[in-house]
Amino acid sequence: MRFVSTRGSADPVGFTDALLAGLAPDGGLYVPEAWPQLSHQRLAAFAHAPYAEVAAEVLSIFAGDDLSPEAARADAAAAYARFAHAAVTPLRQLAPDRWLLELFHGPTLAFKDVAMQLLARLYDRVLSARNERLTLVAATSGDTGGAAVDAFAGSDRVRLIVLYPEGRISPVQRRFMTASGADNVACLAVEGTFDDCQALVKRLFADRELRREAPLSGVNSINWARILAQSVYYLTSAAQLGAPARPIGFVVPTGNFGDAFAGYVAMRMGLPVSKLTVATNANDILARAFATGTYARGAVRATQSPAMDIQVASNFERLYFEAVGRDAAETKRAFEGFQASGSLVIPSQARAMLAPLFEGRAVSEDQTTAAMAAALRACGELVDPHTAVALAAAPEADGPTVVLATAHPAKFPEAVKAATGRVPALPPHLGDLFARPERILPMAADYAALSAFVRAFAAA
C-alpha cells in the first residue's frame, strides 16, 4: 500500500517511510492512496478474536509488503501484553444501548497507550533493520507524552523529545513524562499552550536544514500509524455489539481529532457507524466547525479536561482532504490560508458529505462536573473529566452507542474529587509514582532555542 500527502506535492511512499517521516515533506499528512475494504464476514469475526490478532490483521492490511504477517503478529502481541485487562479495550455497559469503551488499561492509563506501545515496536523493528537511529519529537496536551516516554524509554535506536505546556496538565500526567529516569528522553516544559507546542513541532519538521542535520520523526497523531492503531478498537467494540448487522454510534472526546478520525478510518474500511459525535470542552473549534461550516481558531481556555485544551486540531486536515474529494490543491490552499488567518470555510459540498457522519457538541465545565457526578450516582462509575465530556455530549441512544473512556480517573484526581467527593486511586503498580525524581527542562516558546536544543540532543 502507498501513502499520499494531503497537500499533493510529496511523492507517494510505503508504510515504513510514512511511519518514519511522520509529517509529509510538503507539510501535509499521509493518508492511504486507497481505502482497503473489510467484508461483513471479516468484520463480524472480530467480535470473538483476541484484540492483538485484530490489530495485527489491520496493521498487515496497511503495511502490505513492508511488514510480514508474522512480524505484525509479534509486534501486536508484545504491544498489548502489558495491558492490565485481558480484553485490552473492554466494554462496560452503563445503560440500555449505552456503553463505555475503556481505553485506559495501558501502562500510562490513557488511550494513547493503545497506539504508542505498537509504534515503539514498529520503530525498533524498522530502525534495526536499517541500522539507523532517529530523534522523535512530540507535542503533548498531557497523555501523548507520557505514553511515548513509557513506550520509548531506554531505546537504543530512538531519542525522544516531548514538549508540554507548563502548568496546563495534571501532576499525574506530568510525572508519566518526567519521572522515567531514561537518558534517551528529554521533557521540555514550554511557557505557553499546547497549540504553541504543536506549532513549534510543525516548524521543526518544516526546517529542511535542521532535518538534514538531525533525522526527525513525530509520534503525535500526525503519524499515520497512530491513526490506524486506534481504528482497531472501533472495529472490535462495534463487532462485539452486533456490527456489521447493525450500525453503532460513537461519542469521542477529542482535541486534536486523531481519535475521531480513527473512527472515520474504520468507517471507510466498511464498519457501519450511525454517527460519530465529536465532543469538545470549551475549546470548541471542532464543534463550531461541524455546526457552522467555519473552522476558526480561538483562544485556548484552560479546563479540567486539559488534554482537549486545543484550538488547532491537526487531523482535521485529513478529514477535509476526504470531504473535498481528495483535492490536494484545495486542501493545501485551505490549510495554508488557515495558518495565515486562523480561519477557513468548509465548502458546501464538503459540509454535505460530513453532515450525515459527524456531529459536534461542546460541553461546559459545569456540564462536565455534572456528568462525573451522574456517572457515579447512576452507575457506580468514577470517570475522568475527558470521558465526562463525552458522556455529557452523548445524544439520546438510538441503537447501541459507545462512549470512549480515554483516561483513568486517577490521572485527574482533583477534578474527580471536586465532582464526586471521591479520590480515585492509582493502580498498585504506580504507587511510587510521586516518589520518583523528575527531570524537567523549562523553555520559552522560542523556535531558535528549541532548534538549538534539538540539534544538541540528537547529536548526543
β-strands 343-345, 401-405 pairing? unpaired
Distance CA 46, CA 35 (A): 19
- Output DSSP code: residue 181: -
| Terminal-to-terminal C-alpha distance of the chain | 35
- Bridge partner list, 29: 23
Q: Can you tell me which residue has the cell 468507517?
A: 267
Which residues touch 106 (CB under 8 Å, ≥6 apart)? 82, 83, 84, 112, 113, 114, 117, 147
Cell numbers standing for residue 214: 538531525
- Bridge partner list, 31: 4
Distance CA 157, CA 433 (A): 26
Which residues touch 246 (CB under 8 Å, ≥6 apart)? 272, 399, 400
- 367 touches 392 (CB < 8 A): yes
Which residues touch 377 (CB under 8 Å, ≥6 apart)? none
Burial degree of 391 (CB within 10 A; 0-12, 13-18, 19+): buried
Cell numbers standing for residue 21: 517521516
Whether the bond into 244 is cis, omega within 30 of 0: yes
β-strands 358-362, 273-280 pairing? parallel
Q: Can you tell me which residue has the cell 507517494?
A: 12
Strands of 346-430 (E only): list them: 358-362, 401-405
Distance CA 149, CA 153 (A): 5
DSSP alpha helix (H) spans, 101-252: 112-130, 143-152, 171-178, 194-206, 208-213, 224-240
Cell numbers standing for residue 117: 506501545
- Catalytic residue of the set 112, 275, 332, 411: 112
Catalytic residue check, 411:
no
Residues with catalytic function: 112
